[in-house]
Amino acid sequence: MTEPLLKVENLRIELTTRAGVTPVIDNLSFELGHGENISFVGESGCGKSMTALSIMGLLPEGVGRIASGSIQFHGEELTTASTERLRDIRGNEISMIFQEPMTSLNPVYTVGEQIAEVLRAHQGLSKKAAWDMAAELLDAVRIPNAKSRVGDYPFQMSGGQRQRVMIAMALACKPKILIADEPTTALDVTVQAQIFDLLRDLRRNTGTSIIMITHDMGAVAEMAERMIVMYAGRNAEIGPVDQIIDRPRHPYTKGLISCVPHIVANLTEERHDLTEVPGIVPSLQEFGKNRCLFASRCNLRTDECLRERPPAREFENGQKADCWHAEEL
Amino acid sequence: MSDTPLLKVENLTVRFAVKRGGGFGKKHFLYAVDDVSFEVAKGETLAIVGESGSGKTTAALAVARLVDAYAGEVDLGGHEILHLEGEDLRRVRRKVQFIFQDPYSSLNPRQRAEDVVREPLLSLTDTPKEEQQKIVDDLFAHVGLRPEQKRLFPHQFSGGQRQRIGIARALATQPELIICDEPVSALDVAVQAQILNLLRRLQTEYGLTYLFISHDLGVVQHMSDSIAVMYMGKIVEHADRLSLFNNPLHPYTSALLSAVPTVDKTLREKSRRILIPGDPPDPVNLPKGCRFANRCPVAQDRCRETEPDLKTVKGGHRIACHLVDHTAVSPL
Ligand SMILES: Nc1ncnc2c1ncn2[C@@H]1O[C@H](COP(=O)(O)OP(=O)(O)OP(=O)(O)O)[C@@H](O)[C@H]1O
Ligand SMILES: Nc1ncnc2c1ncn2[C@@H]1O[C@H](COP(=O)(O)OP(=O)(O)OP(=O)(O)O)[C@@H](O)[C@H]1O
Ligand code: SF4
Ligand SMILES: [Mg+2]
Ligand SMILES: [Mg+2]
């Protein structure tokens, strides 16, 4: 195998809050290959966005910092890179679609101006060239009548169109990695299908690698080759999507898959109660404790789960699960 | 579709006056719910699905008398309720309760959990004080909250627990109909299952009838007995659970079902994705003909000319599409 495009090793991000210092990301490692799509899943607050922000060098200042570990992009260490270098990379090589499309577009500028601004800042295009290119990009993300819509303000567009504008902006500089944080959560499924279709095309045509953050296992199954299931700032399970869905090796992954009422092809009268994952996620104060943080909700829990943090168990198919009882699943 | 409907909605129309453009132009109306009729049998669940802005919430609000209908009739347990006022309206409010999407903003942050649950008893009933406390205690147990949590404030609960408080509040006045508007979409999937199981258990326990609004078709498939699909203020398809999912007839419904991402590999490989391009039309300025025609993969000239009626075909399946006749065969 060739050198991965992105290599994150033993990443630890500490968050300083009134309650003290906690590791929101605690020893996370993963790789992203050229043209690959990897997905992050996990409950709210488990650190998905934090991980993405750390790659972008955009951790909330004074609150979050990379305490240890490394992030290598093309072999270049990002955790020690200068602010200028990071800004350069952000505009040209790694770009991100943020969780909330409405708040990440500026309401007082037209979408064309906003896309053109990115192009001028990072590619040094002339005003006219940038504007034309903006229209082209809107067309590429399939906004109908792109030439006239470049002059629209964000509020004049539907939620799905705004999300497509965000994608156009993120693509403006032909990034090597696109990080999409819940790119379709607020959208109708029919619009989501359009956006996924667009992202798939993009990958095919440009070879861009994608990190997609989502809470929907179905979306993961459709879009990604590999996935990371996160729990309380840690890796619960990582591996090929098909293999994990087929046979999860962590009780939390298993719960996530079976607690959702999945749509089925030939529906029958039969109905069962849904499998529940009892309880709730641990609070930030519990992050970093030397035990399995899922233990309070787990039906396989034994004494050792409470005594020590489970090490990663690696399986031959590339699956890796941080659970004392991974083999039994 | 049902022998004893608890809820019968006929030709319900809700419109809003909207401002358009500059100048002195005439008043414009947005018909959020446009001539909608359906029934729900006692103890059953009717799900309403459809795109954002299709009128699901507005229809439900009109049924609960929380927004004014412009035309139509709503019959609850044999009584027309749209014109009721005063004490009669109060009685209806006891019988129809709402569970909202957002357990964060729908609870008063300064009220303790037990007071949140007690509130409808105070405002809608004359239940004596001692009895109120007993009802509240009972509800806490039924929705899976611990007695010592009664004195806590909403922010001291997790999202799922807050939704339990919302459910307990909705149950306080012994309603017959509960409208659940996206009751789990703000919750993490791991917590959704807890709430969905609870809603189904309570339904059997209390014989509740649900109007269940959700954009998650997996959830709808699991929860409903019948499904109404809305598009731009209209019901375009309405059928029982098995017919709708196994034999969708409206091209919009087919597109909707095919768009749901699935973990099921065989289903994914087998099913053909029907992409519907573009956006829905401007709701204030509807085109003539079928409202879905501009995005429909099989639209014909007549679709752009006349609006299809909602007609009943084989098996009681209701459908509004020119290309479907009584034999109930999908045009796709
Ligand atoms: N600016 C901040 N200041 C303090 N705490 C923060 C800040 N940003 C995030 N956190 C905390 O860090 C933890 C991880 O947050 P993160 O946003 O990465 O979660 P997430 O997995 O993306 O969740 P979601 O699915 O809700 O988006 C959470 O507990 C969150 O409350
Ligand atoms: N108070 C109001 N004034 C004007 N227009 C309104 C009002 N309430 C709703 N609308 C409009 O009526 C239409 C239907 O809205 P409604 O909230 O019922 O949709 P919905 O199907 O519940 O959508 P969602 O899935 O986004 O919740 C929309 O076009 C909406 O903008
Ligand atoms: S380590 Fe123990 S408690 Fe944690 S997930 Fe595995 S079995 Fe459950
Ligand atoms: Mg996030
Ligand atoms: Mg709504």
pLDDT in tens, A128-143: 999 999 999 998 888 8
Full-model pTM:
0.91
Please tell me the predicted confidence (pLDDT) of residue B191: 87
Same domain, B217 and B266: no
Which pLDDT does position B105 carry in this prediction? 79
pLDDT of A221 over the 50 cut: yes
pLDDT of A1 over the 70 cut? no
> What is the pLDDT averaged over residues A161-173?
87
Q: In 3-state terms, what secondary structure has residue B261?
A: coil
Instruction: Decide if B328 is inside a domain.
Output: yes
Q: What pLDDT, on a 0 to 100 scale, did the predictor assign at position A55?
A: 96
User: Is B275 inside a domain boundary?
Assistant: yes
- Span B208-248, pLDDT tens digits: 999 999 989 999 999 999 999 999 999 999 999 999 999 99
For residues B69 and B122, state if they share a domain. Answer: yes
B216 and B124 assigned to the same domain: yes
Which residue's alpha carbon is at the smallest distance from atom 3 of ligand 2?
Answer: B16
User: End of a domain among B176, B196, B231?
Assistant: B231
Percent of chain B's residues with pLDDT above 70: 97
Task: Identify whether residues B19 and B152 lie together within a single domain.
Answer: yes
| pLDDT tens profile B240-290 | 999 999 999 999 999 999 999 988 888 787 777 888 887 888 888 899 999
Enter the DSSP assignment of B315.
Answer: G
The CA-to-CA distance between both ends of chain B, in Å, stands at 26
- The mean predicted confidence, pLDDT, of chain A is 92
Average pLDDT of span B119-124: 94
Chain A residue numbers with beta carbons less than 8 Å from the beta carbon of B192 are 259-260
Number of domains in chain B: 2
Type of residue at B197: N
Residue B5: phi and psi, rounded to 5, are -70, 135
A234 lines ligand 3 (CB under 6 A): no
* Contact residues of ligand 1, CB 6 A cut-off: A 15, 17, 24, 42, 44-50, 60, 63, 99, 284
pLDDT above 80 (res A53): yes
Closest Cα in chain B, distance from residue A225 (Å): 13
- pLDDT at residue B23 is higher than 90: no
Q: How far is the CA of A301 from the centre of ligand 5 (A)?
A: 41
The residue among B235, B233, B261 whose CA lies nearest residue B318 is B235
**Chain A touched by B190 (CB under 8 Å):** yes
Question: Which residue among B197, B231, B265 closes a domain?
Answer: B231
B240 part of a folded domain? no
**Segment 94-133 of chain B within 8 Å of chain A by CB:** none
* 3-state secondary structure labels for all residues of chain A: CCCCCEEEEEEEEEEEECCEEEEEEEEEEEEECCCCEEEEECCCCCCHHHHHHHHHCCCCCCCEEEEEEEEEECCEECCCCCHHHHHHHHHHCEEEECCCHHHHCCCCCCHHHHHHHHHHHHHCCCHHHHHHHHHHHHHHCCCCCHHHHCCCCHHHCCHHHHHHHHHHHHHCCCCCEEEEECCCCCCCHHHHHHHHHHHHHHHHHHCCEEEEECCCHHHHHHHCCEEEEEECCEEEEEEEHHHHHHCCCCHHHHHHHHCCCCCCCCCCCCCCCCCCCCCCCCCHHHCCCCCCCCHHHCCCCCHHHHHCCCCEEECCCCCEEECCCHHHC
Q: Which pLDDT does position B102 carry in this prediction?
A: 76
Tell me the nearest-neighbour CA distance from B88 into chain A, angstroms. Answer: 38
Residue B116 sits in a domain of what CATH number? 3.40.50.300
B160 contacts in A (CB within 8 Å)?
280
Q: Is residue B84 part of a domain?
A: yes
pLDDT of B1 reads 47
| Stretch A121-128: mean pLDDT | 87
B45 and B178, same domain (yes or no): yes
Q: Using DSSP, state whether A53 is helix, strand or coil.
A: helix
Closest ligand to B280 CA? 2
Residue B201: pLDDT band (50, 70, 90) is very high
Percent of chain A past pLDDT 70, that is, above it, reads 98
Is 0.90 exceeded by the ipTM?
no
User: What φ, ψ does residue B283 adopt, rounded to 5°?
Assistant: -65, -20
In short, whether A30's Cβ falls inside 6 Å of ligand 3 is no
- Domain presence at residue B218: yes
Last residue within a domain, chosen from B168, B197, B231: B231
- Residue B185: inside a domain, yes or no? yes
Within the 189-208 window of chain A, which residues sit less than 8 Å (CB to CB) from chain B? Answer: 189-190, 192-194, 196-197
User: What is the residue range of B323's domain?
Assistant: 249-332
Say if B191 is an interface residue toward chain A (CB within 8 Å): yes
Query: Are residues B193 and B305 located together in one domain of the fold?
Result: no
B19 and B144 together in one domain: yes
Same domain assignment for residues B163 and B218? yes
Q: Does the residue B101 lie in any domain?
A: yes
Which residues form ligand 2's pocket by a CB distance below 6 Å? B 16, 18, 30, 32, 50, 52-58, 215, 283
Measured in angstroms, how far is the CA atom of residue B325 from the centroid of ligand 2?
A: 31
Instruction: Classify residue B298: in a domain, yes or no.
Output: yes
Q: A300 in ligand 3 pocket by Cβ < 6 Å?
A: yes
Quickly state the pLDDT bin for B2 (edges 50, 70, 90).
Answer: very low
For residues B290 and B197, membership in a common domain is answered with no
Check CB contact under 8 Å for A261 and B218. Answer: yes
Q: Which residue has the tokens 């809820």?
A: B7
